[in-house]
Amino acid sequence: MHWFWRKYEKRNLFQVYDERKTRTDMVLKRQILLFKIANTTVKISPSVFINILFLWAFLSWLTGIRHPERLIWERILTGVLASLLLLIADLGHTLAHIFSARYAGAPMDEIHIPSGMPRTIYHDNHVHPSVHRLRSFGGPIFNLLGLVISLVWHTLTLPGSMANDLATWSVIGFTFILVGSLTPLPYVDGGTMLKWTLVEHGRTLSQADAIVRRVDLILGALLITLGLVLLFWHMWWWGLLILAGAAIVIASGLGILR
Ligand SMILES: [Zn+2]
């Protein structure tokens, strides 16, 4: 990766992207071209950096709430490093797809990273279902490896220490992205894996899409039940988190979220 960074930074770093190439680019015309990894163009929107600032401020504040004995610089440092770990879990997931796409023999052309969910762009998307599925494995495998390393790190650190805090954030970040990406939503890896497995087994594209949406509605109903049970048991935070997840899953099943 370092080699590519060096090779491209002189020509492409912070060049304003020519917005008139494709429709997706028209929507994202304020993005900047940042670098290339293995011939995949990675474009990051400037608003991402504002999100990171908010995340850093929030995590520093939260550290102060949980550890009032810590000095200001310790809270700020924990916030910076915890934000970095969450960023690695999130962006590392997307970038890992570059390598699984190469492995599948259908390289990715572009990655757009706006302030919301990153998008992977393949100019030629007419590939065999098994290739679609193989491409989707890179991100989850990256998160699984990161989670295992974070859990080992967590067990090696003293409870209450800054290192233990950071390991906890790392576990949270990698778990969240792993679980989120494997949920069978139409626009994440879990949905891609399910859809193309169905197509490979003889379903048409529209049949496979309909089944994925039906699975989401059933999953959403189960999550609502679980969320309500947790609220009944006074586990407020978990209950609300599961209900928020249920809302996303059901909105995806109804086609409101795409
Ligand atoms: Zn993914």
CA of 3 to the centre of ligand 1 (A): 24
Q: Report CA(230)–ligand 1 centroid distance (Å).
A: 29
Q: How many angstroms is it from 66 CA to the middle of ligand 1?
A: 32
Burial (CB < 10 A; 0-12, 13-18, 19+), residue 108, is buried
Encode the chain (258 residues) as per-residue pLDDT tens digits: 333 433 333 344 333 344 334 444 444 455 676 788 888 888 888 888 899 999 999 999 999 999 899 899 999 999 999 999 999 999 999 999 999 999 998 999 999 888 778 888 998 888 999 999 999 999 999 999 999 999 999 999 999 899 999 999 999 999 999 999 999 999 999 999 999 999 999 999 999 999 999 999 999 999 999 999 999 999 999 999 999 999 999 999 998 887
pTM of this prediction? 0.83
Distance 160 CA to ligand 1 centre (A): 33
CA 115 from chain center: how many Å? 12
28 touches 45 (CB < 8 A): yes
Segment (H or E) for 37: strand 32-37
